Structures are given as structure tokens and as C-alpha cells.
Amino acid sequence: MERKGLVSIIVPVYNLAPYIGRCLNSILEQTYQNWEALVIVDPSTDGTEDLVTEMALDLRFRVVINRKKGGVSLARNQGLALSQGEYVAFLDGDDFWEPGFLEKATSDLGSGQGELFYSAYSLEGKTVHHKSIYSVGEVYNGDILLPYLMGKVRVANCGALLIKKSVLETYSLGFEEGCSHSEDAEFRLKLFAVSRAMGTEQALFHLVTREGSLSRSFYFDEFADKVAAYGRAIDFIRSKREDHERVEWVVYRWSLPMGAAEYLYKAGQTRDGLKALIHLRHQNLSHYLFQLRPRKIKDLAFFSFLVLAGLLPPLRRVIV
């Protein structure tokens, strides 16, 4: 049974020894105290389990150590099944909140004018992305699905959200298990399609980019996973919204073309832009690069920059 006012915070953790302390301490430091934290730890190789179990955590924390690595989606779904709160938050173990995040979020949602709260954010650490990809964007209230798809509203990831659990239960919303990329984006699209949002310009969430993720070899299946995730979200949206045709147009003429350009840009960081383009062709996904229908000339210019900087890495060093 849900407990009135309680926030269930779900924290998936895997190989995050340098970061997990800051994350969990940011929960402890919340000015809003009515919460439970479900810390779901996959088997790690850097001593993360020991760090978590040895931390001076109070009784509001429940630590679950998995025997096998199930991935972030399974961990979040595990936490969701165990949660008892009226509200749910998903905070990755390397990200963290400002002390006032939960107080602001619960206060806004307590007005009854929305089912989800989202915060602006600050980007911590180095990033392989062009800064405009992670710009905060504008704050909209109400139905934010189309503004989000068109890049007007930017939600960093699920850590920037507080959600009324009732909306997740009503629509059986969870995370796609076995999806390596874009499981977070798929969840957000479905959530935004069926709920009213309340946003704040205050940067109460900190999104952390880790050094390990910057030096990795590029994941060539990333964009294919994104297309599949968006496809599943569209199937959900068709059954829930009368304007689903408009949503589909925006996805296939704006969101996915921009996603393909960002994919090439990130690949160019490791000088794999051309390989990524060839891989897109082999997967029959390169056509997205030609489907963009820009709203403004500057949108087309930014799209072109991302593609060219991905294929010609020296261009990035000159401009960025």
C-alpha cells in the first residue's frame, strides 16, 4: 500500500565506487525527509558493494545486492516493485541532487496540477557532446511530449524527474529490459504522453559524465537501439493519444534525424564517424539523415554541423 507523501528513490548501481558516496549523500541531505531509498547493486568489480554496505546509511535505505548483473532497466524495475511511496524517483548512482530537489518537487506536485515534476540541470565533468545538445532548453507545463520531441524541452534523464506512482501503475509503465541504449528515453516518451508536467528553471539535478565513458570505444548499435526504443514508444502513443499522427511526424522528421546526427558527432570523438556512417548504411538506418524537416535555418545549420564534425573530427577542434 502506498504511503501518503512518501518518495521512493530507486538507485541502480554498477561499478560506481568513485561516485556512489556523493549520490547517496545527496539523498541524505534532502530537506524533504519523508523518503525511502532502494539501492539496487549489480555485481561490481571495483568494490562498489563493499562501499555501499559500509556507508553509515540510516534505516530509510534498503540495499539489494544482486547475484547476477541484470542491467539498469531490471534494477529500476526491481526497485519499482519494492517501492511503497506515493512518488517515485530514479537517481543513477553517479548523479546527484541539490538538497532542495525533493522539497520543490513534492510541493509542486502536491498542488494537484501535474503527475510529474522535472528540473533543469547542470552538467558535471567532461562530455563528448557539443554543449548545445545538453542545453537546458525552455520550461513548459502541462503536455510536454511534442516540445520535448522537438528539442524545446530538455530533460537530462530520469534523475531529473519526480513521478506520481499512480500514473506508472495506471499505464503499466516500466523500463524495457535487455535494451542497452535509450531505455531511459523510451520510458520518458511514454510517461510524457500520458501525464501533465510541472517544470522548474532551478538546476536541482546534476548529470555526471564519467571519464570511463569518454574513452570507451564507440557502441555501434546505439542508434539502432534508439530507433527500436522510439518505435516501441510510438506503438504505445498510438493507443493513448488522438494526436499520434502528429507525434509520429515529429519523431521521424525531427527527433530521429537529430539523433542520427548526434550519433555521428559522438562517434567522431573517437574518430569513428565514418565507420558509424557505414554501419548505419548496413543497418538500413542512414535514411534518417535525409529526413530532417527543420523549423528554422539555425536548426539545419546545427544538424549539418553535427554530421560534418562527426565525419571530419578536425572541424570540431576548430569550432568547439
Mean pLDDT for 241-258 is 96
Beta strand pairing call for 3-13 and 96-97:
unpaired
Domain boundary among 172, 190, 214: 214
pLDDT in tens, 214-238: 334 456 788 999 999 999 999 999 9
Q: Do 85 and 188 share a structural domain?
A: yes
pLDDT at residue 252 greater than cutoff 60: yes
Q: Do 209 and 260 share a structural domain?
A: no
Query: Which strands sit side by side in the sheet containing 61-65, from one edge to the other?
Result: 61-65, 35-41, 3-13, 85-90, 161-164, 116-124, 197-208, 96-97
Q: Do 287 and 190 share a structural domain?
A: no
Q: Do 245 and 187 share a structural domain?
A: no
pLDDT at residue 189 greater than cutoff 50: yes
Domain boundary among 180, 214, 248: 214
pLDDT in tens, 267-316: 887 778 899 999 999 999 999 999 999 988 999 998 998 999 889 876 65
Please give the model's pTM, rounded to 2 decimal places.
0.91
**In this predicted structure, what is the pLDDT of residue 216?**
44
Residues 182 and 225 sit within 8 Å (Cβ to Cβ):
yes
Domain boundary among 168, 196, 214: 214
Residue 122 sits in a domain whose CATH number is 3.90.550.10
Q: Do 106 and 255 share a structural domain?
A: no
User: What does the mean pLDDT of the chain come to?
Assistant: 89
pLDDT in tens, 121-170: 988 876 545 555 556 678 899 999 999 999 888 888 899 999 999 999 99
Out of 53-62, 81-90, 103-112, 157-166, pick the least confident.
53-62
Mean pLDDT for 48-62 is 86
The count of domains in the chain is 2
Q: Do 183 and 82 share a structural domain?
A: yes
Q: Do 206 and 237 share a structural domain?
A: no
pLDDT in tens, 29-49: 999 999 999 999 998 888 888
Nearest partner of 85 among 57, 113, 105, judged by Cα = 105
Q: Do 271 and 161 share a structural domain?
A: no
Residues 237 and 244 sit within 8 Å (Cβ to Cβ):
yes
Residue ranges making up the domain that contains 231:
222-319
Q: Do 106 and 25 share a structural domain?
A: yes
Q: Do 128 and 7 share a structural domain?
A: yes
Torsion over CA of 127, 128, 129 and 134, rounded to 10 degrees? -20
Q: Do 108 and 150 share a structural domain?
A: yes
Q: Do 260 and 124 share a structural domain?
A: no
pLDDT at residue 245 greater than cutoff 90: yes
Any idea which residue has 558535471 for its cell? 124
